[in-house]
Structure 1
Amino acid sequence: MTALLEATNLSKRFGGLKAVDDLSLAVQEGELHCLIGPNGAGKSTFFRLILGRYPPTAGTVRFCGEDITHLQAAARVRRGMSVKMQVPGVFAELPVRQNLVIALQHKFSGPELAREVDRLLALVDLSAEATKQAGQLAHGQKQWLEIAMAIGVRPRLLLLDEPTAGMSPEETYKTGEMILELNRKAMTVLVVEHDMAFVRQIARQVSVLHLGRLFAQGSIEEITDNEAVQEIYLGKGHHHGH
């Protein structure tokens, strides 16, 4: 079975620093995969290598069976990758609905576009905010609008970079439920996250990065029970259970 996304022996050096070090990781079609690890583990760098924002120092990236290692970011998006980065990229002065129209207009038109926008507004619970300026949304709602913009193009792979950063526990939980719903509808999702409660809520498959390398991989139960992971990640178990 060919993985949807496959990174093989991926490395990225910045001067003498190895941010990602000989990392191999595969994401299967239909998977909901969480990438966790302490700060400086290389998660964001790995993400940018997958997206084509950085060229790798070594290694390959394959997507849908094709070698995309040297493709530009835009070409990767056209092949079916979509991303929501930490910093929201919404058009603050425009209404919520218009933000979605702009994101989807290359893919849909006419009544189909209107239907799709309505469907997404309902999915991320922003139907009541449709005419509000996007800049006036609460922090969590802005993030949801951006998730809606990212999934509107119906990507093969949705990449989420710390989607719950700065959210309240309620917003975080709601975001988790949205992501689970997307995954149930057969979307493959790769999430970079360090909120363990959130990871426990959504993760099927977890990969732990440490110092740019793949440190551990398995189900959420295997990872939370792994003492070596607790050592690097949870500060020797003191925070276990929070």
Structure 2
Amino acid sequence: MTAILETRGLDKHFGGLHVTNGVDFSLSDGEIHCLIGPNGAGKSTFFRLLIGEYTPERGQVLYRGEDITALKPFERVRRGLSVKFQVPGIFPGLTVSHNLEIALQHHLEGSSLGAEIRRLLAFLNLADSAGERAGTLSHGQKQWLEIGMAISLKPRLLLLDEPTAGMSPAETFATGEMVQALNRDGVAILAIEHDMAFVRQIAQRVTVLHVGRIFAQGTTDEIVANEAVAAIYLGETEAPRRTEDA
């Protein structure tokens, strides 16, 4: 399949630490791909390189065949790449509906705006909370609201940074169903995740990062059965200390 996102020889240093080391990565258009790895693997740095928060020392980031390495985050968003961070960036003092309205207001108006807000509320399981202040939502509901804000621009590619962190098993499963529904609508998804039940639920392919390099790739079953992957998670494979988590 055609790649919607690629990195070629991506390098990032912090002082003397080689945090991302020559990463060649490819995400197919229409794919759900999970990125996993032990703490210090370089996942967060790689994620920030993809969204434009960090600039690599070497290498390229390509989106739909275009070199976007030098583009700012908002320029990447305009091209169809959207992001949901681990900590929800919602407006806690505003209602759930108003949060979605802010995300949509430059793209829709009038009855079309109202109809899209209602559609998103239903999709996010938040219809009953539409008039509540966003700050009163449960942790999982806040995560869902930010997913709604991230998809309001109808992206081609959605990047998720630990979307199920702090969720209950039921909330995690519901989030997986949302991700799969988005994918059926044509959205490619890259998720950094630690919850292997969630990875099993959604991932079509999995990439394991370790000490800034791609350590393994394959289906979820292949990765779970990989003894070398199990070893780095259990601490049997020694890794240098890092200042960047991932």
TM range (shorter): over 0.9
Which amino acid in the other structure matches residue 63 of structure 1? Y
Cα deviation, residue 77, structure 1:
0.6
Answering whether residue 155 of structure 2 is matched by residue 183 of structure 1, we say no
Q: Give the counterpart letter for 2:196 in structure 1.
A: M
User: What pairs with 1:34-183 in structure 2 (closer than 5 Å)?
Assistant: 34-183=34-183
**Structure 1: runs of 5 or more not aligned:** 237-242
Q: Helix, strand or coil: the match of 1:155?
A: coil
Q: 2: CA distance between counterparts of 1:200 and 1:234?
A: 19
Distance 1:83 1:59 in 2: 22
**Aligned residue pair count:** 236
1:27 partner SS:
strand
**Could you tell me which amino acid in structure 1 is paired with residue 154 of structure 2?**
R
Quick one: distance in 2 between partners of 1:40 and 1:169? 26
Deviation, structure 1 residue 102: 0.3
| Structure 1 residue 184, shift from structure 2 partner | 1.4
Matches of 1:94 and 1:109 in 2, distance apart? Answer: 19
For structure 2, the residue ranges without an aligned partner over 5 or more in a row are 237-246
Letter of the structure 2 residue corresponding to residue 101 of structure 1? E
Which letter maps to 1:232? Answer: I
Indicate the SS of the match to 2:23: strand
Please say if 1:210 is aligned against 2:242. Answer: no
Deviation >3 Å, runs of 4+: none
| Aligned residues of 2:35 and 2:43 also touching (Cα < 8 A) | yes
Structure 2 length-normalised TM: 0.94
Give, in angstroms, the shift of residue 197 of structure 1: 1.3
- The code of the aligned residue for 1:96 comes to V
C-alpha contact 2:41 2:212 (8 A) present in aligned 1: yes
CA distance, structure 1, for counterparts of residue 172 and residue 235 of structure 2? 23
Structure 2 residue 243 is the aligned partner of structure 1 residue 220: no
Query: 2 CA distance for matches of 1:218 and 1:163?
Result: 21
Is residue 32 of structure 2 the alignment partner of residue 32 of structure 1? yes
Normalised TM-score (structure 1):
0.95
Cα distance in 2 for partners of 1:19, 1:117 equals 40
Q: What's the CA shift for 1:194? A: 1.0
Where 2:190 maps in the other structure, the secondary structure is strand
SS at match of 2:3: coil
